[in-house]
């Protein structure tokens, strides 16, 4: 009978394999999965027979499409406000463990890699994607902000690319992921079997796992779209606040960028104004913070967010009732109160 555990654990040769095993739910993380992953990683860190770890998702649709935010929503409605804090605290501890892991961790990021999946992937030392990969931090669409270390890894992308991706929540494909530095290698999905053979033969002595993977044939990808968009992104998303970013986009007159600017405006108008404003501040603070402080700041915001933020309404509109008509508070960018935004960051000192 198939193993129904939400995380499959296997040692093959000198490599430990961890498979997120909720393919019907796009391998979205729940607290049980977070605990299973963290416990096994800690055990393998001390196991001399394990020389590297592989993270993957079951099925072909997703590595991990984020955290199981619906269950957190249901718990909060049921009066268990501490459930969100427990999930995010332990999820961030897992991500921090990956960033500091003493052995190579290979994340095979095929399909969707969103939110919590990005936390796992960006914490891994070797990030492999395929032509099917779609990466993103789409939190502002549900009234949240990029977490799982997003304030660290997004804020360190070239120019304002991380600001653009965090504020808009846009997904990117393989070419753009390589361009911005969110992946190390792109293999055609037809090469995944060859990667498995390589892993089964890995002895950890002749050369590094990174070097061996780099010898596999790379994807044939189109030019990254973000390369041509970067000058406009750097101009518009360097503005001091969301209202100014919107005004700057609206002023775009270069013929080759007008359509892109209008599409970006349409996206911004659909997102939670509060979530975008907090995201902007979070990413700008994150540029100057070490990783541990980025996680701490995200947790500081998260502990207030179910009461003061827009996530409950965003989840209702997009995942529960699915009317796709969120009633954000405030409803419009022009109604944002800088003092209310500052109050959410108050009390965090590093």
Phi, psi of 107 (to 5 degrees): -100, 120
Question: C-alpha angle 61/295/267, rounded to 5°?
Answer: 55
Q: CA–CA distance from 109 to each of 127, 129, 173 (Å)?
A: 7, 5, 12
DSSP 8-state secondary structure symbol assigned to residue 318: I
Residue 40, classified by CB atoms within 10 Å of its CB into exposed (0-12), middle (13-18) or buried (19+), is middle
Domains in the chain, CATH or no CATH each: 1-350 (3.90.226.10)
Distance between CA atoms of 107 and 57, rounded to whole angstroms? 9
Mark whether 321 is an active-site residue.
Answer: no
Mark whether 147 is an active-site residue.
Answer: yes
Catalytic pick among 67, 121, 136, 166: 67
Catalytic pick among 110, 139, 252, 281: 139
Residue 1 has pLDDT above 90, yes or no: no
* pTM: predicted TM-score of the whole model, two decimal places: 0.96
Note the pLDDT tens digit of each residue in 75-116.
Answer: 989 988 888 899 999 999 999 999 999 999 999 999 999 999
Catalytic pick among 68, 147, 252, 298: 147
Q: Which of 225, 349, 241, 217 is nearest to 296 (CA)?
A: 349
Mark whether 90 is an active-site residue.
Answer: no
Note the pLDDT tens digit of each residue in 122-156.
Answer: 999 999 999 999 999 999 999 999 999 999 999 99
Mark whether 149 is an active-site residue.
Answer: no
Distance between CA atoms of 117 and 74, rounded to whole angstroms? 21
Note the pLDDT tens digit of each residue in 207-250.
Answer: 689 999 999 998 999 999 999 999 999 999 999 999 999 999 99
Distance between CA atoms of 321 and 40, rounded to whole angstroms? 37
Pairing, β 52-57 against β 126-129: unpaired
């Amino acid at each position: 009978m198939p193993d129904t555990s939400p995380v499959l654990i296997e040692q093959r040769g000198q490599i430990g394999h961890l498979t997120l095993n909720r393919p019907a739910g796009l391998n979205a993380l729940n607290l049980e999965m977070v605990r299973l992953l963290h416990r096994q990683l800690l055990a393998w860190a001390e196991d001399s027979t394990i020389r590297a770890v592989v993270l993957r998702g079951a099925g072909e649709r997703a590595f991990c499409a984020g955290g199981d935010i619906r269950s957190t929503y249901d718990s909060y409605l049921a009066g268990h406000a501490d459930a969100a804090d427990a999930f995010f605290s332990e999820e961030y501890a897992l991500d921090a463990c990956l960033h500091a892991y003493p052995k190579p961790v290979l994340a095979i990021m095929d399909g969707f890699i969103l939110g919590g999946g990005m936390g796992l992937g960006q914490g891994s030392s070797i990030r492999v994607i395929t032509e099917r990969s779609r990466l993103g931090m789409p939190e502002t669409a549900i009234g949240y902000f990029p977490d799982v270390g997003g304030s660290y890894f997004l804020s360190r992308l070239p120019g304002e690319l991380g600001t653009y991706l965090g504020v808009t929540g846009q997904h990117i494909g393989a070419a753009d992921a390589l361009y911005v530095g969110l992946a190390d290698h792109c293999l055609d999905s037809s090469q995944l079997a060859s990667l498995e053979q390589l892993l089964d033969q890995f002895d950890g002595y002749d050369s590094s796992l990174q070097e061996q993977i780099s010898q596999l044939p790379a994807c044939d990808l189109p030019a990254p779209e973000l390369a041509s968009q970067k000058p406009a992104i750097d101009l518009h998303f360097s503005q001091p606040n969301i209202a100014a970013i919107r005004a700057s986009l609206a002023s775009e007159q270069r013929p080759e960028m007008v359509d892109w600017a209008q599409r970006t405006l349409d996206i911004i108008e659909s997102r939670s104004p509060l979530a975008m404003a907090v995201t902007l501040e979070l990413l700008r603070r994150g540029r100057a913070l070490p990783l541990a402080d980025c996680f701490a700041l995200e947790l500081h915001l998260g502990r207030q967010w179910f009461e003061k933020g827009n996530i409950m309404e965003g989840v209702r509109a997009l995942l529960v009732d699915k009317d796709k008509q969120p009633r954000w508070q405030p409803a419009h960018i022009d109604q944002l109160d800088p003092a209310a935004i500052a109050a959410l960051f108050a009390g965090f000192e590093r």
